[in-house]
Structure 1
Amino acid sequence: MVMSNLKNLNLDANQEDRAKAIRDSLRDAIVDRRLAPGAKLSEAEVGSLYDVSRTVARHALQMLTFEGLVTSERNKGAFVSNPSPEEARQIFTSRRLIEAGLIEEAAHRMQPDDFAAFRQQLSKEAGLKANHGAKARREEIKASGDFHLMLTDVAGNEILKKFMDELIARSSLVIALYGRTGTSSCGNDDHSDILDAMEAGDVARATQMMLRHIDHIEADLDLRSVDSLTLKEALLQ
């Protein structure tokens, strides 16, 4: 899916694999905050550090740009995305407005199979919370975001889904960069409680708990600046 949205750089299979490995390594450094928001990612330096061509390095950075972890500026280069405190607040304000209505819409459409799928998702989240490290953290943040996207799917509104896809991607970036606890703050208990209320037909309670849940996520953010390592220092750690 990512590939269909990226420029075709005519890479062979080996180069494609190298680009993906570089993407994963850089993503770990970003999520671990070894590379702070705003840090420059030079194609030439990335290529040199990983002993690959600039074309392969460019493709790795493009994949990170598509994921929202990197931004590209014409004539300036690529940088670790740097959501401002105000942007972070706007993201979660938007989520409150949208997800309150989303709960009501999804609750009316939920079927037994849907509840079973959500329970399976909650089990996956619980399993990931026991793991440690950058990869586990990425997977836990993604799984937690997937819970919210599953609600959007059940609601069946394609326009709303486009908004939520962007909001979850952008909030996941903010959580990865600024979450104090080192996890997504999308607690499994919060999700379970929301699902319990929906299954009991108590839409008002489910909505209230969703809003409180989003409050918890935002309250966990630490938007203070951090000292960034150089690209080489970050990758050697």
Structure 2
Amino acid sequence: MTIADPQLTQLNSPPAQAGEDRAMTIRDHLRDAIVDRRLAPGTKLSEAEVGTLFDVSRTVVRAALQALAFEGLVKSERNRGAFVANPSPEEARQVFDSRRLIEPGIARAAAGRLSPSDIATFRTQLIEESRLLAERGALARRAEIRASGDFHLLLASIAGNVILHRFMEELVARSSLVIALYGNSGASSCGHNEHADILAALEAGDGERAAQLLVTHINHIEADLDLRQNTGLPLREALSR
């Protein structure tokens, strides 16, 4: 099976640029499958199989896997290949420690930049979270967790610091990976209500209050972790969804 994607066809691009574009598109597909919990921690990412699925060379696949390794989502092992990262409990704690350090500052910055358009976007995000909370099944839960992460990325985007936004993209992706491995109940209505409280503080221009609520929210996410593992899907099936 070959996965069709318009981004994979770059007829007008120079060969080197086209290869880069294809590698980044494959990275995005794999990243989404990892963050959405379709690929479980420890899943082997065969260069040959990924190359066949996307109809590209192993060199292009290798570049995509290297980009994911840089983000901490993939681990390469000599003579064994690449695998979806399998973070230890200590690494999981470090992810949430990092979020507690970074996100309060993002909230303070965002409180001074929030526009009516931003508020409308946040409200749309919360409506989507509510819709997903009302649904059932593994796919709905994965989408809910993704929507929850998007709330934090939206906040980072509004803060206006490009470097911090990149850090948050990595931290949210790593958080999703940790939840895939250690999550007890996944995203929850409690987390959704906390998002609404954070937004209310931001609307009031109270950056300190929003920062405090974010730390409490991150604490609750971390408190929901346990040691149960997710079996995930085979590589071919995960990437075909």
**Distance (Å, rounded) in 1 between the aligned partners of 2:220 and 2:197:** 14
Q: Does 1:117 align with 2:117?
A: no
Question: What residue number does 2:184 align with?
Answer: 180
Q: Structure 2: any 5+ residue segments left out of the alignment? A: 1-6, 11-16
Distance 1:52 1:120, change over 3 A: closer
Which position in structure 1 is the counterpart of 2:131?
127
> Structure 1, unaligned stretches of length 5 or more?
12-18
In structure 2, what is the Cα distance between the partners aligned to 1:230 and 1:117? 33
Structure 1 Cα separation of the partners of residues 208 and 122 of structure 2: 19
Equivalent pairs, count: 219
Change (3 A) 1:64 1:144: farther
Q: Deviations over 1:71-103 (max 9, x none)?
A: 333421122310111111111111111111111
Instruction: Tell me, yes or no, if structure 1 residue 196 matches structure 2 residue 200.
Output: yes
In structure 2, relative to structure 1, the CA distance for the partners of 1:186 and 1:65 (3 Å cut) is farther
Q: Deviations over 1:6-61 (max 9, x none)?
A: 993999xxxxxxx89x969x948x9268x5x33445556x58xx9998969x9599
User: In the alignment, is the contact (CA less than 8 A) between 1:41 and 1:231 conserved in 2?
Assistant: no
Question: How far does the alpha carbon of each residue in 1:150-177 deviate from its partner, in whole angstroms, 9 at most, with x for none?
Answer: 1111111112112111111111211222
Question: In structure 2, how many angstroms separate the alpha carbons of the residues matched to 1:199 and 1:10?
Answer: 39
Q: 1:55-74 to 2 correspondence within 5 Å?
A: 59=61, 62=64, 66=68, 69-74=73-78
Partner of 2:223: 219
Q: Does the aligned pair in 2 maintain the 1:68–1:170 contact within 8 Å?
A: yes
Identity of aligned residues (%): 51
Secondary structure in 1 matching 2:19: coil
Contact 2:182–2:229 under 8 Å retained in 1: no
Q: 1:191 to 1:230 in 2, by over 3 A?
A: closer
Are 1:31 and 2:32 matched, yes or no? Answer: no
Is the Cα contact below 8 Å between 2:181 and 2:229 reproduced in 1?
no
The answer for the alignment partner of 1:99 in structure 2 is: 103
Q: Is the 8 A contact 1:38 1:79 kept in 2?
A: yes
Residue of structure 2 in register with 1:146 after alignment: 150
Q: 1:204 to 1:182 in 2, by over 3 A?
A: closer
Aligned-residue Cα RMSD (Å) equals: 4.2
Distance 1:172 1:227 in 2: 12
1:38 counterpart letter in structure 2: G
User: 2:174 is matched with which residue: 170, 175, 188?
Assistant: 170
Establish whether residue 8 from structure 1 lines up as the match of residue 12 from structure 2: no
